[in-house]
Amino acid sequence: MRAVPKAANASAFQRYAWLWQLLFIAAHGPLAMLIRKGSPYATWHARAVLVVGIIVALRKRSFAGVACVVAYITGAEVFWRMRKAEVPWEFGKYAVALILLVSLLRNARPRRTWMPLAYFLLLLPSSILTFYGLDAAGARDQISFNLSGPLAVAVCITFFHSLRFSKDELRWIYASYIGPVLAIGWSAATLLSQFQPDEFGNDSNALASGGYGPNQVAAVLGLGILLTFFWLVLGAGNTFASGALGLLILFLFRQCVITFSRGGIYMAVGGMLAAGFYLARDRRTRMRLATGALLILPIVIFVVWPRLEAMTSGVIAERFSDTQLTGRDKLIRADLESWAESPVLGVGPGLGNENRLKYSKAAAAHTEYTRLLAEHGLLGLAALILTGWMALSIFRSAPTRLDKALAAGLLAFALLSMVVDGMRLVAVAFTFGMAAAHLVRPRRAAPAAAAPPARVVRSVVSRA
């Protein structure tokens, strides 16, 4: 029996990559059932992913593999919190930062790092106030909670800046994120059968979110919708894969909406609109978007939404027609008061909670922009300006229209997420970083050899 050539193996794998990607995602449904709340499997799952990530990062130039592991951690972060894995609360952010730093050191490629580095360093001086105002353990917890997000953002931008991925690699990165997000949606869906219509109210619903924070669950589901949309834009591979991804979008939409947390849907829609502004300029892509909309929107309007209204006795429509800010305006006001009290250094990371409690039951910041002002003062304002500068630089450096579309969508998600959920999730850092990466440019065909002049040809023929 002859051995199959290595090149043939590679081409066969690539030909059916769409199938392996869909199977990888589908496998997380049973995984969600296997890893129950409080199960030790959740802890081992988190630790195993970290170990695999470090091993991959130690390989030379394994950038796509590292990106896949980081995407997986980004998607699994909330799942591990839901399942009460015995890992630190900020495990996802520190795991992502560690893996990317190992890869950066292994490959010696930190380039143009001054902006993300300066952004993070600007936030350190105010930490002195936190250590002065709290005991060592409390100060450590507050600094970890409030600065692990900016650290992850700085590292992600440094790592992904100017990296180039092929469309095949991007599909694997998207699949790596969507897999654990499906586990989150599956976990929440299994609890919905226990609900009665009168149990839904006009507020975020933890039980309908799989027994965990609706804001965080809705945010990761919203990013799942956005990345699945990008996958379809890049091309799924065939009609079956496109149909499967369309059904996946409908499932993630249903689970995102039923959390009654509006932020996730707003982030997903905001990202798709930002990307669509550039995608619609290409005629072929515009036709594909129109075809997809004609297939999916009627199902959402005439099938999914009526079922959601029946399930919730119409409360879901009331929730999404409500335009109130659910108390975030009060938290913003409290942050501005804190900034007025200490305009130079701010009050210190985590010490803005006192003023927030004057206006709301929620002590922690929900809007990263005003938290920077309240807890870091003028240095926070400088970091805020750098955030906008980095986002603008990332967008402007995108070389093609498709690159600009992907960057615009990811940046829109990251910036909107910082309004709604601050930096509770490593998804902000991941999307900010991925926006800085570009697609591999297609190789130009070698120019054809110039034809010899006609008189030279006649001369050669006559000599013959």
Same domain, 311 and 351: no
Residues 338 and 263 grouped into a single domain: no
The Cα 257–Cα 360 span in angstroms is 25
**With the CA atoms of 115, 117, 118 and 123 taken in that order, what torsion angle do they form, in degrees rounded to the nearest 10?**
130
Domain membership of residue 410 (yes or no) is yes
CB distance 379 to 147 below 8 Å: no
Q: Is residue 217 part of a domain?
A: yes
For 306, the domain range is 194-315
pLDDT tens track for 393-446:
999 999 999 999 999 999 999 999 999 888 999 999 999 999 999 998 766 544
Same-domain check for residues 377 and 423? yes
Total residues found in the chain within this entry = 464
Q: Are 339 and 373 in contact (CB under 8 A)?
A: yes
Residues 309, 342 within the same domain: no
Q: 311 and 198 in one domain?
A: yes
- Record the tokens describing residue 398, joined without a space: 């995108």
Q: Say whether both 202 and 266 belong to one domain.
A: yes
Domain termination residue (choose one: 315, 341, 373):
315
Per-residue pLDDT, 146: 93
Tell me if residue 165 falls in helix, strand or coil: strand
**Does 265 lie in the same domain as 203?**
yes
My answer on whether 283 and 203 are in the same domain is yes
Q: Is residue 321 a part of any domain in this protein? A: no
Residue type, 288: R
Strand partners, 438: 164
Q: Do the beta carbons of residue 438 and residue 383 sit within 8 Å? A: no
Containing 208, the helix (H) or strand (E) segment is none
Q: Let me know if residue 243 belongs to a domain.
A: yes
Q: For residue 119, tell me if it sits in a domain.
A: no
Identify whether 205 is part of a domain. Answer: yes
Last residue within a domain, chosen from 315, 347, 377: 315
Name the helix (H) or strand (E) containing 164: strand 164-165
Structural domain tally of the chain?
A: 2
Helix boundaries (H) for 207-361:
214-234, 239-258, 263-279, 283-299, 305-312, 315-321, 328-341, 353-356
CA atoms within 13 A on the CB side of 314: 0
266 near 221, Cβ under 8 Å? Answer: no
Q: Is there a domain that residue 10 lies in?
A: no
Q: Count Cβ atoms within 10 A of the Cβ of residue 359 and give its class: 0-12 exposed, 13-18 middle, 19 or more buried.
A: middle
Note whether 290 and 365 are same-domain residues: no
* Final residue of a structural domain among 315, 340, 369: 315
pLDDT, position 111? 60
Are both 378 and 311 inside the same structural domain? no
What distance in Å separates the CA atoms of residue 205 and residue 214, rounded to the nearest whole number? 6
Pairing of strands 164-165, 438-439: parallel
Asked if 417 and 335 sit in the same domain, the reply is yes
The verdict on 215 and 286 lying in the same domain is yes
- Averaged pLDDT in 10-residue chunks for the chain of 464 residues: 45 79 95 90 96 95 95 97 94 97 84 85 95 91 94 96 92 97 92 66 71 90 96 89 94 92 92 93 83 87 87 81 74 89 91 81 82 94 96 93 96 95 94 95 55 44 42
pTM value? 0.90
What the block records as the tokens of 145 is 């909670």
> What span, in angstroms and rounded, lies between the C-alpha atoms of 427 and 225?
13
199 to 19, 184, 264, 351: CA distances (angstroms) = 39, 21, 22, 36
Is 455 domain-assigned?
Answer: no
In this prediction, residue 12 carries a pLDDT of 64
DSSP secondary structure code for residue 206 in this structure: S
